[in-house]
Amino acid sequence: MIQTQTLLKVADNSGAAIVKCIGMLGKNRSATVGRVISVSIKKLAESGNAITSVKGAAVSTSGGSPTALLKQGDVYRALVVRTKKPVMRPDGRRVSFGDNAAVLLNRDFTPVGTRIRGPIAEELKAAGGGTAWAKILALAQRVI
């Protein structure tokens, strides 16, 4: 369960490492797997783990290394893909993960990154009408 002020790992290669939840989209006070939240970037990833250009965007260089497209303090939307709190499945199984993680989204709800690290929950298939997160499911290494 994700609440405001919760720190989450970023599961994609967008350039951010840790984000903080600053709000929920909708009236709910907490979010679970498949919910969209508003986040602020708290820590950037090392340059080896981040994408440095998107569709021909200009990237500045300082000291010979390209800078990431994201900046600390930027506000984005994010989709929750893993939570520590167990999620109950219809067959009675409970699934939980070792960390809370999210995927950063653009304004049109497409993922910022091009790869997703680690497993994501199967509940994304049912969230948002089934086809809303097909791109994220396709980018994931493993769906559990």
Q: Where are the domains of the chain?
A: 7-48+71-143
pLDDT band at 52 (very low <50, low <70, confident <90, very high): low
119: tokens are 């497993």
Once rounded to an integer, what is the mean pLDDT over residues 14-33?
A: 95
Q: Give the percent of the chain with pLDDT over 70.
A: 83
Backbone φ and ψ for 3, nearest 5 degrees, come out as -120, 175
More confident residue, 65 or 120: 120
> For all residues of the chain together, what is the average pLDDT?
87
- Contact in structure between 9 and 99 (CB atoms under 8 Å): yes
Please state which architecture CATH assigns to domain 7-48+71-143: Beta Barrel (2.40)
Percentage of the chain lying above the pLDDT 90 cut:
74
Task: Decide if 136 contacts 37 (C-beta within 8 A).
Answer: no
Inform me whether the pLDDT recorded for 32 exceeds 70: yes
**Beta strand residue intervals within the chain, DSSP E:** 7-10, 16-24, 36-44, 61-62, 65-66, 75-82, 87-88, 94-95, 101-105, 116-120, 140-143
pLDDT of amino acid 138 = 93
**Residue 130 confidence (pLDDT):** 64
For the chain, give me the number of helices (H) and strands (E)? Answer: 1, 11
Q: 92-113: per-residue pLDDT in tens?
A: 999 999 999 999 999 999 999 9
pTM comes to: 0.85
